[in-house]
Amino acid sequence: AQSVTQPDIHITVSEGASLELRCNYSYGATPYLFWYVQSPGQGLQLLLKYFSGDTLVQGIKGFEAEFKRSQSSFNLRKPSVHWSDAAEYFCAVGARGTASKLTFGTGTRLQVTL
Amino acid sequence: EPEVTQTPSHQVTQMGQEVILRCVPISNHLYFYWYRQILGQKVEFLVSFYNNEISEKSEIFDDQFSVERPDGSNFTLKIRSTKLEDSAMYFCASSARTTSYEQYFGPGTRLTVT
């Protein structure tokens, strides 16, 4: 069964500092990988996705993520965090080539200090 | 930009009552999903729907739950007899038949069962 682990429940960074949110997955083959962001009281917005090709993917709002097969990881990064990035971030995995369910991690809450 | 919409944004109901949560997926999408998020927990898959039938469902999706696409635009989730533990945020999502089948989420309906 597929699963996702986000080991950091809560991270605080200063505005302007760099950010890395960790995500590890368990899946029998190469999965589809996604990062979603949820602002308070809002739905889930897709930040970026990986399904093939270049293992470094670019997303919206200046975010990027790198797929590392050897480490079963898909960490999210941003070089300089803005106060508006404060939100909850979810990593998710889906089966390749299908429209099947997404399995989410437990999320990482990002707090940004000024 | 097209988006998934959900109504109502907040529903309060008494235990044992039936509720219907409504979603309007993105118009050219073919795959539809319901997920739920109990407060403070991760997003969990409930059911996926394609070609007017359920494609996949989780163990959470028991006989109390049903889904329907009553017309060409709406996608509904019905809970027949609500329990306290059904209190959660319910998200609808939809995806197109693309390479990665990325899912686009609505803003959610917060269901409170008293």
> What is the Cα–Cα distance from A92 to A109, expressed in whole angstroms?
15
Answer whether B105 sits within 8 Å of A44, measured CB to CB: yes
Tell whether B60 lies on the interface with A, counting CB pairs under 8 A: no
Which neighbouring-strand residues pair with B79? Answer: B19, B65
- Mapped onto helix, strand or coil, the DSSP state of residue A39 is coil
B88 HSE (CA, 13 A, CB side): 21
Q: So what's the pLDDT on residue A53? A: 86
Tracing tokens 């029998």 back to the chain, one arrives at A28
- Residue-wise pLDDT tens digits, A93-102: 988 766 788 9
Cα Rg, chain A, nearest whole Å: 13
**Residue among A37, A102, A103 with most chain B CBs within 10 A, to mutate:** A102
Q: B106 to chain A: nearest residue by CA?
A: A43
* Neighbouring residues of B72: CB distance < 8 A, sequence distance ≥ 6: none
Query: How much is the average pLDDT of B91-101?
Result: 84
Judged by average pLDDT, the poorest of A41-45, A66-70, B33-37, B104-108 is A41-45
- For the beta carbon of residue B14, count every other beta carbon within 10 angstroms: 8
Distance from CA of B10 to the nearest CA of A (A): 11
Q: Is it the case that residue B7 has pLDDT exceeding 70?
A: yes
Distances, alpha carbon B57 to alpha carbons A10, A89, B71, in Å = 31, 25, 22
Tell whether B7 lies on the interface with A, counting CB pairs under 8 A: no
Answer whether A51 sits within 8 Å of B50, measured CB to CB: no
- For the beta carbon of residue B94, count every other beta carbon within 10 angstroms: 25
pLDDT band for B99, please (50, 70, 90 cuts): low
